[in-house]
Chain A
Amino acid sequence: MLTLQIVPYSEIADLSSVGRIRKLLTIAKQNKIVLLQGRLKKEEEAELIQATMEEINKDFKGIELAVVDEQSSKDAGGLEAIRSQLSSIFLGDRAGLTIIGPANVVKAIKKDPKKIELLTRDPKQKKKKK
């Protein structure tokens, strides 16, 4: 069974970078797929990769990560673009979607402008009892 956990941006808005990363990684380590409203800062994405590497062990193999941007605000010009940038600076980047899937569950994420494909692992292939 696949579990998707939706995380509204408001849940991470007031957290520090470390807090945000810990929160998202804790969910992913529970073998749940995180659907975060919006996106992390670029530096936080890199920190997420670093933190993931520190957590890797025989049970947690890492994550699959994909960020889907909201294209309409990116393409917009003039006032709309300024409004979007200002809102990102002051309120955080709430547009788009970030998907964080534990590598134990998600084999790969393929992005397409109109769809996202999550290739999952066959549960039968999961750990054999020792």
Chain B
Amino acid sequence: MIKKFKSFLTKLLKNIFKSKSQLKLGLYGPPNGGKTTLANRVCQDWLGENMGTTSSMAHETREIQIKEQITIKSKGKEITFNLVDTPGIATKIDYEEFMKMGMKSQQAKKRAKEATKGVIDAIKWLDDMDIVIIVLDATSDPYSQVNITIIGNLAARDIPVLIVANKVDLKKANIKKVQAAFPQYDVVGISAKYGNNTDKLYEAVFKLSG
């Protein structure tokens, strides 16, 4: 009870002393869901530049990356936020998996170590977010415990959540399955790679930010 009151008070004080331009929009999700591809899409759409590098190998993003002061506009409204791209959250990291993809042992071990630190940092940053977009690969099983844990933690912190079912350009994509897994949340199906449906994503962000 005391913990909940403290968290409420901290959040209230944060909101009072924070200007609108300091709004933090976080991209969270499991590895390889397309968080950085989406971050690049948003940055390309509104700033004309990329944010980070992408790869088919998991844990390409191993550090928190922030792009400040992105202003998006839709239907006469505008909102400015700092976009926070986070490393994919996983419960296991095996350097041998990187070696199977052609990496040398030393390099793979270094990547695994950085990836574990990235997961820890991503979880630590949950408290700092004002809005979170959960980026899921619509071709994968949405019922993974990592997804449920992240969303549960955001709900416990009263942070507004939007779920993006990414990679809808792929045949195996199944948005309905993602919607069925998280019926209490808005789910927007997009292709961050090709920009499909991003207008709906921006509208949903407006709706979420109130």
* Interface set of A (CB-CB < 8 Å, partner B): 42-43, 45-46, 49-50, 52-54, 56, 58, 61-67, 103, 109-111
* Interface set of B (CB-CB < 8 Å, partner A): 89-95, 109, 112, 116-117, 119-120, 123-124, 126, 141, 143, 145-146, 148-150, 152-153, 155-156
Query: In the complex the two chains form, is A46's CB within 8 Å of B94's CB?
Result: no
Pick 29 A–B contacts, CB within 8 A, sort by A.
A42-B149, A42-B152, A42-B155, A42-B156, A43-B156, A45-B145, A45-B149, A45-B152, A46-B123, A46-B126, A46-B149, A46-B153, A49-B89, A49-B149, A50-B124, A53-B93, A53-B116, A56-B112, A56-B116, A61-B92, A61-B94, A62-B91, A62-B94, A63-B92, A64-B92, A66-B145, A67-B145, A67-B148, A103-B92
A-chain residues with CB within 8 Å of residue B146 when the two chains form the complex: 49, 65
Q: How far is the CA of A113 from the CA of B89 in the complex (A)?
A: 24
Q: Nearest-CB distance from A64 to chain B (Å)? A: 7
B-chain residues with CB within 8 Å of residue A50 when the two chains form the complex: 119-120, 123-124
Q: How far is the CA of A110 from the CA of B142 in the complex (A)?
A: 11
Q: Nearest-CB distance from B49 to chain A (Å)? A: 31
Query: In the complex the two chains form, is A53's CB within 8 Å of B119's CB?
Result: yes
B-chain residues with CB within 8 Å of residue A53 when the two chains form the complex: 93, 116-117, 119-120
Q: How far is the CA of A71 from the CA of B21 in the complex (A)?
A: 42
A-chain residues with CB within 8 Å of residue B116 when the two chains form the complex: 53-54, 56
Query: In the complex the two chains form, is A61's CB within 8 Å of B156's CB?
Result: no
Give the residue name and chain of the B residue nearest to A98 (CB): B145
Give the residue name and chain of the A residue nearest to B90 (CB): A62
A-chain residues with CB within 8 Å of residue B95 when the two chains form the complex: 58
Query: In the complex the two chains form, is A65's CB within 8 Å of B91's CB?
Result: yes
A-chain residues with CB within 8 Å of residue B94 when the two chains form the complex: 61-62, 103
Q: Nearest-CB distance from B127 to chain A (Å)? A: 10
Q: How far is the CA of A56 from the CA of B141 in the complex (A)?
A: 25
